[in-house]
Amino acid sequence: MTIDPRIYGAKADGATNDGPAIQQAIDECATNGGGTVRLTDGEFLSGTLFLKSNVYLNVAASAKLVASPNIADYSPDVHHNRYRNEHDIDRCFIYAEDAHDFGLIGHGEIQGRAEVFPNEGSIYRPMMIRMLRCSNVHVENLRLYNAAAWTTAFLDSEYIWVRGVDIRNDKRYNGDGLDFDGCAHVFVSDCYVRGTDDNFCLQASSREHPVHDVHVNNCEFSGICAGIRIGLKSIGDIYNVTISNCTLNRVWREGIKIESTEGGAISDISVSNIVMRNVTRPIFVILNNRFEPDDLGSSIELDHMPSIGRLENIDISHLTAVDDEEMANTHMRFTDDVMGSPRFNGIRFDAADGRPVDGVTLSDIRYTFIGGVKKTDIPADDEYPKVLDRLVSPEGKSSENYWPDWSRTSFMDLRNVADLQMRNIRLRTLRDDERPAILVDGCDDAVIDDVRVNGAAWR
């Protein structure tokens, strides 16, 4: 069956709260075995909507689903955000829990109206979409614009298809695009994502819900923090991930970021056929342990310092990263949050002594970096901190994602990587750079073949 919410009193005038009428249509459709609730011809204003099994909410090209500016229209009964430092964005616009065989489809727009909500530090910032313990979910062909916080959060769910979605979330902090925590069998294709935080993100908040069998292809990412992020929240395992045929443009921190930090294992990751333009750090990979309840990004589920987990079997091939003159600048998020500069750059792998990243292949990579960094622009090399095992060395400064805020090489810093293979690497600076081009520390069994820096053979 197909239901138009107008039969329940929806006005589609952009001023009346049509949420109750839309919800009644969804509930009626679910009660009668499922079908489609179709929004057409107008602006439908609403607070929290609860999606149900076997029901598709179709926002037609002629329609717009618009977030109410009244926080009283948003239910508090929509689970919570799982980042310790982002506890004030618990409410959401569209929610589903324990639902199956349903979705959000159509060629219309879902408008989060970010500008009517606070920029940060308030619970009065609803996410756009959150789904908990759901299966067989389709989000297709929609325009998801201006969420007040994250655009999507798929939690402990499986068999998820996100196709042809246009996400633009660059007006507020926490402007994530596609976030999957504890999810399996994920298929993302043909999407455009622009935001102020992670464009695409895989997280594992628990051992009960490992993340696996994830496929990302034919997407374009543009963001402030990371284009593609795997981990940080990594209590559980993340494995069997393939990312291919994507472009990243104007990403002021990392293009591809992989972080095993909370005791889980991240393994069997394949990244291929990627093109980046103006990405500060094309690749960043770290294996460590951290439990800092007052610091950035720790899981609310983590209540102790974990043993260092595992990070292994990472294959990155056919990657092209190119800077132009724009990358000579220091880039900010909004007015006072420094994201990147020429001295904070490069491809970096790092781990604690005795706990290496294991099994890394870097092949067919071309990286053109703006360069221009002088030795006087950075501290001395011997001041660059190691990654510390916090169970062994609880005190002292450990190298992390956001610190130090400089790089000791102009291209590649590879430390404590076992079974490292590098082949067919081409590195070039647009301006002379006084730092070493490549450092390979604690990688005694590395196999390095055909690496050239500014046209000359390296090693």
CB atoms under 10 Å from CB of 15, counted, come to 10
Q: What is the pLDDT of residue 381?
A: 66
pLDDT, tens digit, 9 for 90 and up, residues 131-165: 999 999 999 999 999 999 999 999 999 999 999 99
Tens-place pLDDT, residues 100-115: 999 999 999 999 999 9
Phi, psi of 206 (to 5 degrees): -155, 155
The helix/strand/coil state of 306 is coil
- CA 282 to mean position of chain CA atoms: 14
Distance of CA 273 to the CA centre of its chain: 19
Selection from 455, 432, 437, 436 nearest residue 373 by Cα = 432
**Residues 10/22, Cβ–Cβ less than 8 Å:** yes
Amino acid at 84: R
Tens digit of each residue's pLDDT (9 = 90 or more) over 413-455: 999 999 999 999 999 999 999 999 999 999 989 999 999 999 9
For the chain, give the percent of residues with pLDDT over 90.
85
pLDDT at 87 over 80: no
pLDDT in tens, 386-411: 999 999 999 888 998 888 999 999 99
pLDDT of residue 20: 98
Residue 291's pLDDT band, with cuts at 50, 70 and 90, is confident
**pLDDT over 70 at 205, yes or no:** yes
For the chain, the straight-line distance linking the first and the last C-alpha, in angstroms and rounded, comes to 68
pLDDT of residue 123: 73
The β-bridge relationship of strands 310-322 and 211-217 is unpaired
For residue 148, what are the contacts with CB-CB under 8 A and spacing of at least 6? 67, 89, 112, 113, 114, 116, 117, 125, 126, 127, 128, 172
> Running DSSP on this structure, what letter comes out for residue 175?
-
Are the beta carbons of 230 and 257 closer than 8 angstroms?
yes
Peptide bond into 436 cis (omega under 30): no
Distances (CA, A) of 101 to 53, 140, 159, 277, 388: 6, 14, 10, 38, 46
Are 56 and 82 spatial neighbours (Cβ–Cβ below 8 Å)?
A: no
d(CA 161, CA 157): 11
Q: pLDDT grade, residue 295 (50/70/90)?
A: low
Strands 192-195 and 347-351: unpaired
pLDDT at 297: 63
> Mean pLDDT across the stretch 18-25?
98
**Is residue 24 helix, strand or coil?**
helix
pLDDT value at residue 256? 98
pLDDT digits (tens, 9 = 90+) for 259-280: 999 999 999 999 999 999 999 9
Q: What is the spatial distance between Cα 179 and Cα 151, in angstroms, rounded to a whole number?
A: 8
Tell me how far CA of residue 369 lies from CA of 158, 261, 324, in angstroms: 39, 28, 8
The H or E element containing residue 28 is helix 19-31
Q: Whose structure tokens read 């196999």?
A: 447
- Return the half-sphere exposure (C-beta side, CA atoms, 13 A cut-off) of residue 307: 5
pLDDT (tens digit per residue) in 165-189: 999 999 888 999 999 999 999 999 9
Go through 250-287 and write b for each residue having 16 or more CB atoms within 10 A of its CB, e for each that does not: bbbbbbbbbbbbbbbbbbbbebbbbbbbbbbbbbbbbb
* Residue 93 backbone class (left: φ over 0; alpha: ψ -120 to 50; beta: rest): alpha
Give the span between the Cα atoms of 137 and 162, in whole angstroms. 8
Confidence band for 191, pLDDT divided at 50, 70 and 90: very high
Over residues 279-283, mean pLDDT: 98
- Of 282, 48, 280, 258, the C-alpha closest to 148 is 48
Whole-number Å distance between alpha carbons of 184 and 28: 30
d(CA 197, CA 177): 8
- pLDDT tens digits for range 368-389: 999 999 999 988 767 889 999 9
Q: What angle do CA 387, 388, 394 make, to 5 degrees?
A: 150
Question: In the predicted model, what is the mean pLDDT of residues 204-228?
Answer: 96
pTM listed for this prediction: 0.97
Neighbours of 395 (CB within 10 A): 7
What pLDDT band is residue 296 in, cutting at 50, 70 and 90?
Answer: low
**Distance separating alpha carbons of residues 115 and 31, to the nearest angstrom:** 36
pLDDT in tens, 111-127: 999 999 987 777 778 99
Q: Where are the domains of the chain?
A: 197-457
pLDDT of 333 reads 86
Q: E strands, 261-371, where?
A: 265-287, 310-322, 331-333, 337-340, 347-351, 357-371
The CA distance from 130 to 155, in Å, is 8
Contact at 8 Å (CB) between 82 and 181?
yes
Average pLDDT value for the chain? 95
